[in-house]
Structure 1
Amino acid sequence: MTTHAYTGEQMLSDAITHALAQHGITPEYWTASSALCWLVIPTADGGEIGIEDGDSDVEVRLSDYRGMRALYTPARDETGGSYETAIYSSPRLYHREGGAERFTAELQTMLTAITACIAAAQARHRWTLRYGAVPAPSSGWTPAIVHLDTLGPYPALTNGLTCPNGFALPRVSLDVVRRIAADIDAENQRHRDRDTLRITDTTVDVIDYADGALIERCEPNEDATYSIGHGYWTWTAS
């Protein structure tokens, strides 16, 4: 399949819709309000994948591109509850730079994550946070050094797996979680554009920096480590 050359004057919603069509995926268009616009893809388990721009708006030109993320929400469970988790997030989300060229470069990675999510929903008819876009953990976790973009290095455990967008999937101790949280807070003092961490007695929560919404609630693994931002934080391991 040839890569389509997008131009800065094209609308983000049109460009994403065109790319999805090449994979046989047809989104529904949904507008929450005059200022918030998403593209929504229904999944076989009764859930949906929503695609949004860094401005929570897909009705922008690619010359104003601020990155994008794809959010998966399963059908409500028997308690009436549900959750939302990011299956893809642009490495430079919220940064208006690169335009159509950057969009084209990031597009295939997002499509890989979306098609993996759709396939899993069709196979399982149920999507779980731990075993959805992220491969199931295996034995053989070994020490590694990880970075989160420019943050780090941090000691961690990895097992060689990566999520569909190529990011590493580290496990870190609670002490390292505290270091990461402090580093994020320090970085956000300079330019607030990174999701933060909220550490409670039993969980570590990933919080959207823009609106304070809960993105992910991470419970400790069986070895008392935490899997933070799997599938959407830009972890690299060495």
Structure 2
Amino acid sequence: MDMSLSPPKSPLQAHNLKPKVFLVPTWCSMCKGVLVGSGFQCTGPCKMRCHLGLGANMAEHCKAELLLKTCEETEQVQGKYRFGDLTKQIFRNEHQRIKDLVVKEVVKEQKGFGKFEKLKAYAEAIQEKWDLPKIKQYVLYGILLSDLAIFLLIYCLVLLIALPLHGYARAARLAWFQAVSNFTSLSIFEGLLLVGIHLLLHQVLLYSELLHSFVREILQIDLRELQIDVGRASLALSEATFYALQISGGMAVLAISMWFRAVAIV
């Protein structure tokens, strides 16, 4: 798994599953159960095959599991046939067809209610208003103002509490030390949080094509028709979080240097 801060060169390749009737019994690449009759096979380099959905060995959805894996060359699996497996799989296939029909009707009903059109309108509105330079300005002001507000709040609170006990000079030093300490902790926490978010967006971008394929094949919804592109969205957010991480890193360096000076004063 690539965990660098730079975005991946390209998303992982999704499967291109095509319906296929297996006249000669073979094995499902996911559950290793017998595969005969209706199923799917990828036309990509992996050539993997799977059941319609429900599979052997407690597999809940072989097609869904396959769609969540990247398409790459692999060896075909070999299963073990037991008496009655073929009959059981025929019933599983019929069960899956009923489930797919229910999903199709639910999606059709939601389209009729106009839910997808509203979602598409929201997505288009966000894309129109997304302006990276302005977003960076908001991020810069947000980090600076929030850190400054917390710094001043802690300084004033500690000063008010310590003033009656230690006098102004001593109370001011204690307040400054406490405010700087909290500012340092906050800056480090912000940096770690932004690193985590950035790496998460990195992985979302990496698996974006697999996610699109999964939603299209299993939920029967084409996200791109709704103007939702997971890869583009994660890349745009990744640029914003990386900028925020740079600001937070600078604030952390400043906070640590201030903390060492505050220690010397106290």
Give TM-score scaled by structure 1 length.
Answer: 0.24
Q: Which has the larger radius of gyration?
A: 2
Give TM-score scaled by structure 2 length.
Answer: 0.22
Give the structure with the higher percent helix. Answer: 2
Q: Higher relative CO (CA 8 A, sep ≥ 6), structure 1 or 2?
A: 2
Give the structure with the higher percent strand. Answer: 1
